[in-house]
Chain A
């Protein structure tokens, strides 16, 4: 990928900068535009409404119009805010959620950085998001913002524990931290996916299957909480906290928070897909292999990866408009009293099975 860019531009510094900006402009921005539209349409259909209909056919241009409006808006900064950090926080939050995309394998051909500690990197870099949220909440000098930021940070840190425990079970089975290698292990057909016990037809596959399903459910619940989506969206509970940590933000800075929220939604879905559902691997074998066209395979992989990811993003939206919000104490109880013990037991059982 970088070699190609280097050939085109002749200078490796420019090539790296363009390579780093590529997923943002090619993927995240169009995805966010599409996902906001999808969310509004899904919520509308679930509530028996039509949703945006006026701008363009079926309201397709609505989010583009919204973005144009946000760009033009005046950038309001309240007089008592801490200017420096108030302006920095949205970018820090976005940097944290964008950095995760560096290690996500979109297809066999395109992975930003094929580091050997990929999944560990994603878990670690997301802590920048927490720091950014705290910065936003504190610098706004608003009690609702500060409360929202505190809740958000507490929630993300607590739910990191079950997430990491589940990642540990996967790492124990696969023996690698590299997302690329984990994807390659689940190649060919869907029964080789980690959720079905991984590749191979031994006894361990059938023993692992139920525990992998449990692991997937725990992982999905805690990843929902990590991106502050309903039913875990108390950090921005409208009825209690106005809009949480981004109450004071307007215009493009608000758009940065919005963008990073949607980028995060795809990132956690992508991690769930890579760990459990075969990553970029096709469930039914490749058309490129059947027809003997080798350049078709990476495109097919990209297609499968994004469609699996968008499928889970859609489930997140479905849950958002179905479930009520949890209370703060219920939220912590779900994490510490249920998810963490179950994840631990699951980890021990999977460990014993792997040793067999």
Chain B
């Protein structure tokens, strides 16, 4: 067993275990904190797949941005922290059908995809390639996303502004 196997299983257990705890925990703040470990574990798996830039963006956007916002939202909203979430099982038959269908689609996709199983040449860095693609082939999507974020920012500022100013 090499060091990569050890690290892979550590991150896999972290991701799956904390993901399970996110859905089963009764306290909403606990769920949010467990989500931190799930997102961190996914970032670790990206690193093992030689996608360093994606891994860092995962950390930056999800752990540093969305999760912190989520925590702020939950903590600052009055009385949400005391709400007990129901984690019991209801509507067993439709749930089994739904998840069974989803599972079937995922498994069939997994079996049909032509995975690259031979050890290919791993790129040392993905930053240059990503940057080039973003500013050539996907420049329209990139710019549209920037516009969308700018609109969201202006919208948030105008909602938060006081009326008398």
Within 8 A of A (CB), among B42-86: 52-53, 56-57, 59-60, 63-65, 67-68, 71-72, 75-76
- A128 contacts B75, C-beta separation under 8 Å: no
Q: How many residues of B contact A (CB 8 A)?
A: 27
Option from A12, A127, A138, A160 in Cβ contact (under 8 Å) with B3: A12
Residues of B within 8 A of A125 (CB): 59
Least distance between B8 CB and chain A CB atoms (Å): 13
Least distance between B137 CB and chain A CB atoms (Å): 21
Residues of A within 8 A of B64 (CB): 124, 126-127, 130, 157, 160
- B75 contacts A13, C-beta separation under 8 Å: no
- A115 contacts B68, C-beta separation under 8 Å: no
Is A134 interfacial (CB 8 A cutoff)?
Answer: yes
A-B contact count (CB 8 A): 67
Chain B interface SS verdict (over half): helix
Option from A85, A127, A146, A160 in Cβ contact (under 8 Å) with B59: A127
- A127 contacts B75, C-beta separation under 8 Å: no
Chain A interface SS verdict (over half): helix
- B68 contacts A124, C-beta separation under 8 Å: no
Option from A16, A116, A124, A150 in Cβ contact (under 8 Å) with B127: A116
- A135 contacts B33, C-beta separation under 8 Å: yes
- A116 contacts B52, C-beta separation under 8 Å: yes
Option from A12, A116, A131, A150 in Cβ contact (under 8 Å) with B67: A131
- B60 contacts A117, C-beta separation under 8 Å: no
Within 8 A of A (CB), among B122-157: 124-125, 127
Q: Mark B20-41, 1 if CB is under 8 A from A, else 0.
A: 0000000001100100100010
Residues of A within 8 A of B60 (CB): 120, 123-124, 127
A11 closest partner in B (C-beta): B3
If A13-B3, A123-B60, A124-B56 touch, whether A134 touches B68 (CB-CB below 8 Å) is: yes
If A130-B64, A157-B68 touch, whether A117 touches B75 (CB-CB below 8 Å) is: no
Question: How distant is the Cα of A279 from the Cα of B160 in the complex, in angstroms?
Answer: 42
A99 closest partner in B (C-beta): B59
Residues of B within 8 A of A138 (CB): 29, 71, 75
Is A271 interfacial (CB 8 A cutoff)?
Answer: no
Least distance between A335 CB and chain B CB atoms (Å): 15
If A124-B59, A134-B75, A138-B75 touch, whether A117 touches B68 (CB-CB below 8 Å) is: no
The 5 A-B residue pairs with the shortest CB-CB distance, nearest first, are: A127-B64, A116-B125, A124-B59, A124-B60, A124-B56
Q: List 15 A-B contacts (CB under 8 A).
A: A13-B2, A13-B6, A120-B53, A124-B56, A124-B57, A124-B60, A127-B60, A127-B63, A130-B64, A130-B68, A131-B71, A150-B72, A153-B68, A157-B68, A160-B64
